[in-house]
Amino acid sequence: MTALDHLPYGVFSTSDRRPRAGVLVDDRVLDLADAAESGLLDSDPSLYAQPALNAFMAAGRTVWRATRDALRDLLQDEVEALVPLAEARLHLPFEVADYVDFYSSRAHAENLGRLFRPDSQPLTPNWLHLPIGYHGRSGTVVVSGTPVRRPSGQVKPPDADAPAFRPSARLDIELELGLVIGTPSDLGEPVSADQALEHVFGVLLVNDWSARDLQAWEYVPLGPFLGKSFATSIAAWVTPVDAIPRVAAAPQEPEPLPHLRAAGRAVFDIDLEVDLNGETISRSSARNLYWTAEQQIAHLTSNGAALRTGDLLASGTISGDDPGSRGSLIELTWNGAEPLELADGSERTFLEDGDEVVLRARTAGFALGEVRGRIEPTA
Ligand code: CA
């Protein structure tokens, strides 16, 4: 394995360069605009001389593949003028169009069902028939490293008579993988599961920060709103779909309706990890996703809704069956009943001010871009 197997894309700036597209090569960044300008890449420099990857993303799979092939050829040899990563400031890699968050890990859905609806079936009746999702707030998607301020909001504990407005006391993480849509689809024309991946530019880690106390009071009947929209962190680097191995997904029972079936249904083979203050508290895998990327896209567009360049489709929290593979604190601590004991002797149920969470992902011998965020006190 070499860095040439990964080659993720991002947006960077330096003291003398405005934000523009770059590709990561080990711990250095190649300026794609410069490379195209000097003829090293056979594509239009204007695709890269921008503070977001969207123009390149919209160019489509033929261009993505040609660029990736050209980069792999070019980088076989020592290339001058790579920028050390330490000298680069990393920016949000693309302008986020719509942000959709799915709920596609069965273990996560079952855990939350057991926690919140102990007297009924863990899965809601629709869960095995469609990939449940909601529309989130794209304007507050932030790049890895951005501090996360503890939100305030309305909360009403079960034993309280009335709600109060106060800082969240149950601030949580959600370990997720996001799809980044490159080429749009046409309004009114569903994208079939078999065609869906043609639209996907790449994949990155997502931390869907969640204020559980705000969420619990507000979510009936329209779903998550302010309990999620204060911040969603994504990696600075987008890994091309072509770089990620996929493995066959387990058969689905019941078999989904025809529009959600895909030939050779497969999941991304990516190992995932959650670190809290430098200590690993969960190890999961994207193989734990029941609904695949193709099925999520087929479902999202099945009513004729169009994909847009820059859409971010997050998987939902990725938990496995093993308790050590749960992707959120509400699951890891079983709604606070079983606090985590950290190496420094402290305990955690939910996040405290100053806590730093890092999501990590590995596949095929390389690490995807991490997602890092530290909790700041309420303003
Ligand atoms: Ca989520």
Same domain flag for 82 and 116: no
Question: Do 366 and 26 touch, CB atoms closer than 8 A?
Answer: no
> Measuring CA to CA, which residue among 145, 53, 77, 143 is closest to residue 372?
145
Omega within 30 of 0 (cis) for the link into 254: yes
Q: Is 108 a catalytic site residue? A: yes
Q: Do 169 and 255 share a domain, yes or no?
A: yes
Backbone phi, then psi, for 140, in 5-degree steps?
Answer: -115, 25
Same domain, 158 and 9: no
| CATH code of residue 258 | 3.90.850.10
Say if CB 284 and CB 268 are below 8 A apart. no
Report the side by side order of strands in the sheet with 28-31: 83-84, 28-31, 17-25, 9-14, 89-91
Q: How far is the CA of 73 from the centre of ligand 1 (A)?
A: 39
164-187 b/e (C-beta count within 10 Å ≥ 16 → b):
eeebbbbbbbbbbbbbbbbbbbee
pLDDT tens figures, 8-41: 999 999 999 999 999 999 999 999 999 999 998 9
Ligand 1 mean position, distance from CA 370 (Å): 17
Clarify whether residues 239 and 326 are in a common domain: yes
Same domain flag for 272 and 149: yes
Whole-Å CA distances, 350 to 169, 171, 337: 7, 6, 11
> How far is the centre of ligand 1, averaged over its atoms, from the C-alpha of 133 (Å)?
9
Mean pLDDT of the chain: 96
Q: What is the CATH number of the domain that holds 18?
A: 2.30.30.230
How confident is the model over 56-93, as pLDDT tens digits?
A: 999 999 999 999 999 999 999 888 789 999 999 999 99
What percentage of residues in the chain have a pLDDT greater than 70? 100
Q: pLDDT band at residue 192, thresholds of 50, 70 and 90?
A: very high
- Joined together, the tokens standing for residue 25 give 């090569």
Dist. CA 233–CA 361, nearest whole Å: 15
The CA 332 to ligand 1 mean position distance, Å, reads 15
Same domain, 27 and 147: no
Q: Cα of 281 to ligand 1 centre, how many Å?
A: 18
**CA of 244 relative to ligand 1 center, distance in Å:** 22
CB atoms within 10 A of CB 29: 22
Note whether 262 and 144 are same-domain residues: yes
pTM above 0.95, yes or no: yes
CA distance 286 to 289: 6
Domain count, the chain: 2
Give CA–CA dist 228/250, Å, rounded. Answer: 31
- Active-site residue (options: 6, 108, 199, 299): 108
Taking alpha carbons only, the member of 340, 378, 356, 337 closest to residue 214 is 378
Last residue of a domain, one of 25, 57, 91: 91
Whether 32 and 140 map to the same domain: the answer is: no
Looking at 42, 72, 91, which one is the last position of a domain? 91
The domain boundary, picked from 91, 122, 157, lies at 91
Q: Which residues of 100-121 are buried (b: 16+ CB within 10 A; e: fewer)?
A: bbbbbbbbbbbbbbeeeeeeee
Q: For residues 233 and 356, state if they share a domain.
A: yes
Nearest to 98 by CA among 47, 63, 133: 133
Residues 308, 182: Cα–Cα separation, whole Å: 8
> Is the same domain home to 16 and 158?
no
CB-hemisphere CA count at 13 Å for 305?
14
Q: What is the pLDDT of residue 65?
A: 97
Q: Which residues surround ligand 1, an ion (CB under 5 A)?
A: 101, 174, 208
Q: How far is the CA of 189 from the centre of ligand 1 (A)?
A: 27
pLDDT in tens, 161-188: 999 999 999 999 999 999 999 999 999 9
Give the model's pLDDT for residue 116: 86
Give the residue with greater pLDDT, 110 vs 79: 110
224 and 247 share one domain: yes
User: Does 157 share its domain with 218?
Assistant: yes
For residue 47, the enclosing domain spans: 3-91
Q: What pLDDT sits at residue 81?
A: 82
